Amino acid sequence: MDRQKMSVVIRYFGIAFFLVLHNVQAALYIPPPPTLDDRAYLLLDYQSGQVLAAHNADEHLGPASLTKLMTSYLVEQALQDGRLHEDDTVSISERAWRHGSNQESTMFLPVHGQAKVIDLLRGIIVVSANDACTAVAEHIAGTESAFADMMNNSARAMGLSNTHFVNASGLPDPEHYSTAHDLAVLARHIIMDNPRYYSIYSEHDFTWGGHKQGNRNELLYSDPSVDGFKTGHTEESGYSLVASAHRHGMRLIAVVLGTNSMHARTEQARALLDWGFSFYQTVTPYKANAVLSHVHVWYAEKDHIAAGLASDMNLTVPKGSQNGLRATMVIRPDLQAPMKAGLVVGKIVTTLDGKPYAEYPLVALESDAEAGFIKRMWQHLLVFLEHLF
């Protein structure tokens, strides 16, 4: 190897390190996830975003009332950024009123009446009210089709590449579809982006206009660790459920689509959650903004700046692992001033028992201005001589 190549290798790997994280062992054996009689399922760890189990997770299926997860998300976003207020009143059009009849889920909103935004949000989440969905869609976007465009824009921003909406409530349509994977990611965004309203997803019942109705998520009544999310059903799609549970500092999100009964969707989601909590744990070996290294920056006022993670490193690993999880830091060799805080300067690569596991970007934790003329010229000379010899 010539001296030029040797220099690049040294600068690239010279600051790399190899650490044992949390003294965690790789489990010798994890039984396969439970065998489920559904069309698709997925189990996701909330903190790390890692998929622990999946079956047909990217198959396009009718989401039915699981569509309302996106409808409620957009209402919550509008409340959080001030475009809506909880006490704002919404007028109920004849079209919205009709979507609460003919055996569709309903809040029993009166035609040409009014309801508060917060009541409509509870109606959407707790009792899966189609009339409430149409009412808020028209209030926010003017028409339900325009609201569907907003839903699709939000889906794209979340990276839901296999999802497309044409209405706010989940009524069947060939162009209205999603997947187990996309719905799990959407549920994760609801918790992460709108924590103020997440508790509504655990409410057992909702009363409006003299009508008391119960939440159809049966896990809320039988498993105290479950605190959300939503059920769905149409004749075409079968019975579906997105459920989230929190046990011993770990949160999992389970999605089951296309089961044959309400009982089946409940028990299948329960089985997935129990399996995940039994055999996995989430660890956080590195916290956001902790200084993990000081990296070299060329032509800068400071020769080295602090580097770390922009967000916590959350990794979901098998329980009972033993010195199997390791991390290597790789620094870019070409960092030059000016340097802004937040710029990616390398990455942390983790392996589990020698196999690639996860990567996190390493970022600058501070800024660094360009050095004065004399220092820059001196460093240019050093680089020239390095390449020359």
Task: Report the catalytic residues.
Answer: 65, 68, 128
Tokens linked to 233: 């059903």
Where do runs of H (alpha helix) occur along 159-245? 180-193, 219-222
Q: 42 with 187: CB under 8 angstroms?
A: no
Tokens linked to 117: 């935004």
Count other C-beta atoms under 10 Å from residue 185's C-beta.
21
The DSSP bridge partners found for residue 190 are none
Q: How far apart are CA 368 and CA 215, in angstroms?
A: 54
Q: How far apart are CA 268 and CA 264, in angstroms?
A: 6
Between the CA of residue 233 and those of 22, 95, 238, what are the distances in Å? 43, 22, 5
- Residue 132 phi/psi, 5-degree rounding, is -65, -40
Phi-psi region of 65 (alpha: psi -120 to 50; beta: other; left: phi over 0): alpha
Tokens linked to 74: 């957009």
What angle, 0 to 180 degrees and rounded to 10, lies between the N-to-C axes of helices 68-80 and 180-193?
20
The residue ranges of DSSP E strands in the chain, in sequence order, are 18-20, 40-45, 51-55, 89-91, 114-116, 205-208, 211-214, 226-234, 238-247, 250-259, 280-286, 293-296, 304-308, 313-318, 325-331, 344-352, 355-364
